[in-house]
């Protein structure tokens, strides 16, 4: 099927014949957009073996970007041509994931509320520092510079602490980003009530804002990669920036309108902040809850691995099915990959295939009985995936009988023998199997001495 936007001379029938000449194979249907009048009407062209146009039929709308020919279509076309085309990716909706529309809409609502709250908090911050109230300009400027410097330093330290967890759980850290921003805004709102603590409060607020900015920037790449289904990552990223700017402008206008109504009294500003912050966080939560990410992080990997061991390849859930069980707040409750280093001399199950250049090992912790996995640094993705599959199987056996001794070497052998079946099932369900991010804490390392089995 040929799908695209084409402008052809003449009427609709002439455009159909022109598009039919571009069809990759005769005798198949070619889909194109014929521009006729004010709107855009998509038509499917059936081409016979001799290249003649057999029929021209309308294609049903596939999303918000499709323009209706019914009364009112003129306004929809005007909205699309003048507004939406500047903020939606080229080829929307077929060029992005199905969850794009709801994610973008709810994100825009949240960004608007956040920007409005930012206007009120900035007003409170300026009031606290004494702008316009006879404060010494140099002292006020010095405090402002110091708070910015401390905030930037705190943001850098935070990113160093979090490292790859931005990649493994982009949705959770995106929500953390919004929460940090609202906490920072609250501190700014409180500064007029405690002018003597302006510098520590403002500096801490700036740390929160830098954490928010860096977290949002770090998670944006993974989210946009999942939404860009047509190799259009740059376009999706650029349009997200346009949407963010538009929402920020709308939120700033709303904040300016609310400012004289709210006043400068701290209780009234806090009440307005609470409302706007609630809208921001709830909207973002709804946006992220509708977002499907096909990358395998610890929670998703354990979910699909457990389903594979229980029901086989046909029971592996899809990306959308797992999305509904993901949590943005709180712990996952997994017993895998706690990161405890094994005691000296503990026998570990090694990769049973000696031809493999890298290895993984599984053991049961003597402290709390949880199953742990160690993967050799630099191992390819399929070793991490196979090791995780074995660890999940071992954990299931422990849950079935806590007193039973788990033969880790046999579990590893079974997992390795079924790894090709498992990978095929994951790909069939829409998961990205390359480079699974199943490690929860990259700061902990263990040293394993490889010895021949007796």
| 381-404 pLDDT, tens digit each | 888 888 889 888 988 888 887 777
Q: Which of 383, 98, 388 minimizes the C-alpha distance to 227?
A: 98
> 341 or 150, which is more confident?
150
Average pLDDT, the chain: 74
Question: Cα separation of 192 and 127, whole Å?
Answer: 6
3-state DSSP call for residue 373? strand
- List residues bridging with 374 in a β-sheet: 361
- pLDDT band, very low/low/confident/very high, at 277 (cuts 50, 70, 90): very high
Q: pLDDT tens digits for 264-273?
A: 899 999 999 9
Question: Do the strands 39-47 and 29-36 form a parallel or antiparallel pair, or are they unpaired?
Answer: antiparallel
Q: pLDDT tens digits for 20-64?
A: 343 344 444 444 343 333 334 444 444 444 444 444 444 444 444
3-state DSSP call for residue 116? helix
Domain ranges of the chain: 5-87, 100-289, 298-428
Q: pLDDT tens digits for 318-334?
A: 999 999 888 888 665 45
Q: Which of 80, 51, 75 minimizes the C-alpha distance to 65?
A: 80
Does residue 342 have a pLDDT over 60?
no
Contact 128, 205 (CB under 8 A): no
- List, in sequence order, the alpha helices (H) in 170-232: 170-190, 198-227
Instruction: State the average pLDDT over residues 139-168.
Output: 67
**The model's pTM:** 0.71
- List, in sequence order, the alpha helices (H) in 291-360: 298-311, 319-323
pLDDT score at 258: 94
- pLDDT band, very low/low/confident/very high, at 174 (cuts 50, 70, 90): very high
> 295 or 67, which is more confident?
295
Q: Please state the separation of Cα 299 from the chain's center in Å.
A: 14
Cα–Cα distances in Å, from 327 out to 173, 216, 285, 342, 401? 12, 18, 10, 30, 28
pLDDT score at 446: 52
Does residue 241 have a pLDDT over 70?
yes
pLDDT score at 140: 56
CATH of domain 100-289: 1.20.1250
- pLDDT band, very low/low/confident/very high, at 100 (cuts 50, 70, 90): very high
């Amino acid at each position: 099927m040929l799908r695209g936007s084409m402008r052809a001379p003449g009427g609709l029938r002439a455009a159909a014949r022109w598009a039919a000449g571009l069809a990759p194979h005769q005798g198949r249907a070619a889909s194109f957009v014929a521009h006729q009048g004010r709107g855009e009407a998509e038509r499917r062209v059936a081409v016979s073996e001799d290249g003649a146009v057999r029929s021209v039929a309308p294609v049903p709308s596939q999303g918000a970007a499709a323009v209706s020919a019914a009364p009112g279509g003129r306004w929809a076309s005007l909205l699309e041509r003048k507004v939406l085309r500047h903020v939606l990716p080229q080829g929307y909706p077929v060029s992005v994931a199905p969850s794009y529309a709801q994610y973008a809409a709810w994100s825009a609502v949240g960004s608007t509320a956040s920007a409005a709250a930012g206007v009120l908090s900035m007003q409170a911050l300026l009031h606290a520092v004494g702008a316009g109230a006879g404060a010494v300009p140099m002292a006020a400027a010095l405090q402002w510079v110091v708070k910015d410097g401390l905030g930037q330093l705190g943001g850098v330290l935070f990113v160093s602490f979090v490292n790859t967890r931005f990649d493994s759980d982009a949705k959770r850290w995106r929500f953390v980003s919004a929460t940090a921003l609202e906490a920072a805004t609250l501190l700014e709102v409180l500064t007029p009530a405690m002018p003597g603590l302006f510098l520590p409060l403002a500096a801490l607020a700036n740390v929160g804002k830098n954490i928010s900015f860096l977290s949002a920037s770090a998670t944006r790449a993974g989210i946009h990669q999942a939404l860009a289904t047509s190799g259009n990552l740059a376009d999706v990223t650029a349009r997200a920036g346009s949407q963010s700017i538009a929402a920020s402008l709308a939120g700033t206008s709303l904040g300016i309108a609310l400012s004289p109504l709210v006043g400068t009294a701290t209780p009234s500003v806090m009440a307005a902040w609470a409302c706007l912050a609630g809208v921001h966080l709830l909207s973002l939560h709804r946006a992220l809850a509708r977002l499907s990410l096909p990358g395998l992080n610890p929670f998703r990997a354990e979910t699909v691995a457990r389903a594979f061991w229980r029901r086989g390849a046909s029971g592996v859930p899809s990306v959308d099915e797992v999305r509904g069980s993901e949590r943005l707040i709180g712990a996952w409750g997994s017993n895998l990959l706690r990161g405890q280093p094994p005691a000296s001399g503990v026998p570990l199950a090694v990769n049973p295939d000696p031809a493999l250049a890298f290895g993984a090992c599984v053991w049961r912790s003597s402290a709390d009985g949880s199953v742990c996995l160690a993967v050799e640094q630099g191992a390819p993705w399929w070793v991490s995936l196979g090791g995780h599959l074995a660890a999940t199987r071992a954990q299931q056996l422990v849950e079935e009988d806590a007193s039973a001794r788990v033969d880790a070497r046999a579990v590893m052998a079974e997992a390795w023998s079924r790894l090709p079946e498992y990978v095929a099932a994951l790909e069939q369900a829409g998961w990205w199997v390359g480079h699974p991010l199943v490690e929860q804490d990259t700061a902990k390392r263990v040293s394993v001495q490889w010895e021949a089995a007796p």
